[in-house]
Amino acid sequence: MCVGCRTLCGVGKGCAVWTCPLRNRLERRYGQRHLHFITCSCYRRRPLLGTPRKRDALLKILDQVRTRYKFLLVGYVVMPEHIHLLISEPKTGTPSTVLQVLKQRVSRALRRKTRRRRNPNQLRLWQDATGEASPSLWQRRFYDFNVWSKKKRIEKLHYMHMNPVKRGLVTDPKLWLWSSYRFYQYGERSICTPDPQPKW
């Protein structure tokens, strides 16, 4: 049976497992009580989140979206040109809904702040270092990987926390303020403090 882009898995009547088939064989699997490791890139992987102010704004909005859609935020990292999130399925909507709302709100907030502070000597918000303007902040799609075990959860958290080090942005993950590393290492609260880990 099909309802819009949602298809029942066919395992049995009343099955709550939903898949969203997309072009290029990308399929989103919801309703299995898995965590979701999400990667979302800025338009053409440009460093459009390249300032602390923009990364802070994204984290504040992520915290608001988490409260509204009622999902667990297990981990995150905000890089200059992409973000990684490790989230549970929301009580309201799906991870796709969460990403759509997050991307829209971040785009609006950053555009609004840029208009208020507009200085003719500054680059436009959606320009990269070469001065080329971007039509939007985000790529249209995002990557979603279902995380079904404790081993995979730890692997994805480690990957996220080491991302700034591998990219040469910092020498130690504790120095990158826009990730959940300090929460796990030191119990430190932040703009967007992660939720306690699920017990599996």
Q: Which domains does the chain have, with CATH numbers?
A: 1-32 (no CATH), 35-186 (3.30.70.1290)
Burial 72-107 (b: 16+ CB within 10 A, else e): bbbbbbbbbbbbbbbbbbbeebbbbebbebbbebbb
pLDDT at residue 192 tops 60: yes
Mean pLDDT over 47-75 rounds to 95
Angle separating helix axes 95-116 and 52-69, nearest 10 degrees: 140
Provide the pLDDT for residue 62: 97
Identity of the amino acid at 159: Y
Q: Which residue has the higher pLDDT, 130 or 70?
A: 70
Rounded CA-CA distance 154/191 in Å is: 22
Q: Which residue has the higher pLDDT, 130 or 11?
A: 130
The answer to whether residues 66 and 38 touch, using CB atoms and an 8 Å cutoff, is: no
Q: Cβ contacts of residue 93 below 8 Å, gap of 6+?
A: 69
Percent of the chain with pLDDT over 90: 57
Lowest mean pLDDT across 23-32, 100-109, 132-141, 158-167: 23-32
Mean pLDDT, rounded, of the chain: 80
Angle at 102 between CA 16 and CA 113, to 5 degrees: 170
Banded pLDDT at 112 (limits 50, 70, 90) = confident
Provide the pLDDT for residue 137: 86
Give, for 75, the enclosing helix (H) or strand (E).
strand 73-78
Provide the pLDDT for residue 132: 55
Lowest mean pLDDT across 29-38, 112-121, 130-139, 189-198: 112-121
Banded pLDDT at 161 (limits 50, 70, 90) = very high
